[in-house]
């Protein structure tokens, strides 16, 4: 059964257009509330709601709150919080589900609604399908005596700060380290500084002045080309860039940027060196080929999942593994957090640096990434890329041309109307030429 609304990371779109409207949000919350109530023995359901810093968050928060309350579900409000904070606080407060109002790394005019289970993990596909089916029943309000109640969780951000700090080794600190933090004018704007500072670091923080419209605007984990320069200008030792909802992290020193693939390798090799139980690592179809080879060289299994942290987590659970992630900076460390967490992941890398007394450049000196070229093509409405015979033929030709020395991957984004064309080979000029040739086949939206 195909989904009507849920993508790989909840419901997402342009604010004011279906499905990101207050009317839809209210019906979605009502439907989710009814599904959640059916899963309990006593009908008692509580839901945690938080948001990032987009101006539309106020509108959607009110609509979701009204929807849950009208379904007889109690609501706990957390205000602006990172997505992983919702995963943690839903679990810590023993609530039935968590809801995040965020479009992650997208511009402010987009927004989204994503759910977490009582265990702090993304909702299973079958539950999302149940919610979609329940929405077909339309607006239904319980009797007044059965309406839910709402309350605000005091110091929700402080509770999450303490949780993040607890994932860092208790016998270590960050004293003597000067850290540059880019909070993307997003959900961690009031949290990231406190975490690193309270662990002893000197912190220079930018991207921490949200105004409702500047989330991810030239800052954050998707704008890191000049991150080394910013680290250098701030006279810092290391840079940490989060995205709008702080579930991604990219790091840099004064010379280089280090993506999620590289940070994942640093964590895996450190665990192996310390004799920790680790059988393998999960990456995605986009994970750099060099990372796959290095992980295998140190004696660990490497598994590729579909792109999207929900699929990474799915394979991790199937294989019984604790580490997985994506080059984009979604990294899941299952014995520390139930979902991707930019701050927690960065702390694991910082712990390796402190433990080994090495820089990131030292830790990754043996890794030479294979050049990857990625072109995002916003496609014309109605275009079915997987049925385009010309694209299929040209992709097959390119794959044959690169056989044994590279690869081609074409896939649709799960959150935006984009086709992503990726070509990976040691000759970057060749990769650019092939990617551009394939991208021109895809009809562009006007």
Average pLDDT per run of 10 along the chain, which is 446 residues long? 79 96 98 95 92 98 98 98 98 97 96 96 92 96 97 97 98 97 98 98 98 97 97 98 98 97 97 94 92 93 92 95 96 97 98 97 93 91 90 94 88 84 92 95 86
In Å, what is the CA distance from 185 to each residue of 165, 191, 224, 257, 280?
A: 22, 11, 14, 20, 35
Please list, in sequence order, all residues whose beta carbon lies within 8 angstroms of the beta carbon of residue 166, skipping any fewer than 6 positions away: none
Say what the alpha-carbon torsion angle 154, 160, 165, 166 is, to the nearest 10 degrees. Answer: 90
Residue tagged 């935006």 (tokens) = 416
Scored b (16 or more CB within 10 A) or e, 234-263 reads bebbbbbbbbbbbbbbbbbbbeebbbbbbb
Phi-psi region of 326 (alpha: psi -120 to 50; beta: other; left: phi over 0): beta
pLDDT on residue 2: 66
104 flagged as catalytic: yes
Contact 108, 214 (CB under 8 A): yes
Q: Which of 104, 118, 157, 346 is catalytic?
A: 104
Alpha carbons 51 and 80: distance in angstroms, whole number: 5
Say what the alpha-carbon torsion angle 393, 395, 400, 403 is, to the nearest 10 degrees. Answer: -170
Contact 279, 360 (CB under 8 A): no
Contact 282, 303 (CB under 8 A): yes
Helical ranges in 10-99 per DSSP H: 22-38, 56-70, 83-92
Alpha carbons 239 and 320: distance in angstroms, whole number: 32
pLDDT on residue 46: 97
β-strand partners of 46? 74
Q: In the structure encoding, which two tokens stand for residue 178, read together?
A: 């000067």
Q: In the structure encoding, which two tokens stand for residue 41, read together?
A: 């023995």
pLDDT on residue 1: 52
pLDDT on residue 153: 97
Say what the alpha-carbon torsion angle 215, 217, 223, 225 is, to the nearest 10 degrees. Answer: -150
Sorted by where each starts, the structural domains of the chain and their CATH numbers stand as 11-156 (3.40.120.10), 175-255 (3.40.120.10), 259-363 (3.40.120.10), 372-439 (3.30.310.50)
Answer positive or negative: Cα dihedral of 187, 86, 166, 239.
negative
Q: Residues, the chain, total? A: 446
Q: In the structure encoding, which two tokens stand for residue 164, read together?
A: 């993040």
Alpha carbons 57 and 213: distance in angstroms, whole number: 11
Residue tagged 């921490």 (tokens) = 208
Please list, in sequence order, all residues whose beta carbon lies within 8 angstroms of the beta carbon of residue 267, skipping any fewer than 6 positions away: 323, 331, 333, 348, 349, 352
Q: Which of 100, 84, 95 lies closest to 119, judged by CA?
A: 95
Residue tagged 């949290």 (tokens) = 191
Alpha carbons 186 and 241: distance in angstroms, whole number: 11
Please list, in sequence order, all residues whose beta carbon lies within 8 angstroms of the beta carbon of residue 426, skipping any fewer than 6 positions away: 370, 371, 405, 406
pLDDT on residue 439: 95
pLDDT on residue 268: 97
Alpha carbons 247 and 102: distance in angstroms, whole number: 11
Q: In the structure encoding, which two tokens stand for residue 19, read together?
A: 């499905």
- 3-state helix vs strand vs coil in the chain, percent to 5: 35, 20, 40
């Amino acid at each position: 059964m195909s989904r009507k609304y849920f993508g790989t990371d909840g419901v997402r779109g342009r604010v004011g257009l279906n499905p990101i409207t207050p009317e839809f949000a209210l019906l979605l919350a009502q439907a989710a509330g009814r599904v959640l109530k059916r899963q309990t023995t006593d009908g008692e359901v509580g839901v945690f709601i938080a948001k990032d810093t987009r101006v539309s968050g106020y509108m959607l928060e009110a609509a979701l709150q009204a929807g849950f309350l009208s379904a007889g579900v109690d609501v706990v409000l957390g205000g602006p919080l990172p997505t992983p904070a919702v995963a943690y606080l839903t679990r810590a407060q023993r609530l039935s589900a968590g809801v995040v109002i965020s479009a992650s790394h997208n511009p402010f005019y987009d927004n989204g609604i994503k759910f977490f289970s009582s265990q702090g993990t993304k909702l299973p596909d079958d539950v999302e399908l149940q919610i979609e089916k329940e929405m077909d029943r339309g607006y239904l309000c319980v009797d007044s005596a059965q309406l839910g109640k709402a309350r605000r969780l005091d110091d929700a951000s402080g509770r999450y700060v303490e949780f993040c700090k607890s994932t860092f080794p208790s016998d270590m600190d960050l004293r003597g380290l000067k850290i540059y933090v880019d909070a993307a004018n997003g959900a961690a704007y009031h949290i990231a500084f406190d975490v690193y500072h309270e662990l002893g670091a000197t912190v220079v923080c930018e991207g921490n002045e949200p105004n409702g419209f500047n989330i991810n605007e030239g800052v954050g984990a998707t704008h890191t080309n000049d991150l080394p320069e910013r680290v250098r200008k701030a006279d810092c030792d290391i840079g940490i860039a989060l995205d709008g909802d702080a579930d991604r992290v990219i790091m840099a020193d004064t010379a280089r940027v280090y993506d999620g693939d590289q940070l994942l390798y640093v964590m895996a090799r450190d665990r192996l060196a310390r004799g920790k139980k680790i059988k393998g690592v999960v990456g995605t179809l986009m994970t750099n080929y060099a990372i796959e080879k290095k992980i295998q060289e140190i004696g660990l299994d490497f598994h590729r999942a579909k792109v999207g942290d929900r699929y990474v987590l799915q394979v991790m659970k199937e294989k019984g593994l604790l580490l997985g992630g994506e080059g984009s900076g979604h990294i899941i460390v299952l014995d520390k957090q139930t979902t991707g967490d930019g701050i927690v992941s960065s702390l694991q890398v910082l712990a390796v640096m402190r433990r080994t007394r090495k820089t990131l450049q030292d830790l990754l000196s043996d890794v030479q990434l294979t050049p990857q070229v990625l072109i995002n093509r916003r496609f014309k409405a109605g275009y079915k890329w997987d049925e385009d015979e010309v694209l299929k033929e040209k992709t097959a030709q390119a794959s044959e041309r690169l056989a044994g020395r590279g690869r081609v991957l074409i896939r649709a984004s799960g959150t935006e109307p984009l086709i992503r064309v990726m070509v990976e080979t040691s000759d970057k000029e060749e990769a650019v030429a092939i990617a551009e040739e394939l991208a021109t086949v895809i009809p562009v939206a006007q």
